[in-house]
Structure 1
Amino acid sequence: MKKLFLILIILINTNVFSQSQNVDFDNFILNFNSSKFETIYQTFSPAMKKVRTKEYYSSFLTKIKKDYGTIINYNLLDFKINTQNTIRYNYDTTFENGNLTIRITINNHHKITGLYFLKNNVFL
């Protein structure tokens, strides 16, 4: 009975955490489609902001949007809970001009700690 209770608690917590993260991805999509790349940059974790400049991320996102257009639809492929209090999500994402996988990692403070776009499992 204790094992069943523990499993139930884990499933509920995982489901609640993953649903709140979908809100973060929805906000990412709204900002991406509106070309609000500065707003997206503000959702990055401090560590992510140290890796590359704001100009780099803005240029990269501008190129993705220019090449693929706005995001029309997405489906969650899978997610993985990491030991650093983050969840990595993989979304099959339909753009106006093609499909990409977006891999986004979000921490428990709702900050993006990883963001990748993949075409046929190859990083862009």
Structure 2
Amino acid sequence: TVKVTGGKTTQECCDVAYAVAHSPLVKTAFFASDANWGRILAAVGYAGIDDLDTEQVDVYLDEVMICQNGGVASDYTEDAGKEVMKRAEITIHIDLARGSATDTVYTCDLSYDYVKINADYRS
């Protein structure tokens, strides 16, 4: 799940959520159980919100804050990230700190089986 809060509009929250949900680098990080906040923040940047101040953005994996004010969270530990990444389902919560709009989308990781199934599919 990708939940975006703190947006100026629902549309910008939707744009950010889909940018993260569709990012192959985020999907592969999740498949590798890598709590890679940099890939998530980069995908936020791909959403194309011109006046977004990434130094205000916070990112959580479930209850664990991994990114605070655009950088690694001060109390984040690799052990906490590893524990969250063991879960079958995880919520990426991105707080844009710009307003009160929200949006949520659902996605999956990019596993070997997903790639194989879609690589073997012929239309």
Using structure 2 for the length normalisation, give the TM-score: 0.34
Higher relative contact order (CA 8 A, sep 6+): 2
Using structure 1 for the length normalisation, give the TM-score: 0.34
User: Which structure features the higher share of helix residues?
Assistant: 1
Which structure is larger by alpha-carbon Rg, 1 or 2?
Answer: 1
User: Which structure features the higher share of strand residues?
Assistant: 1
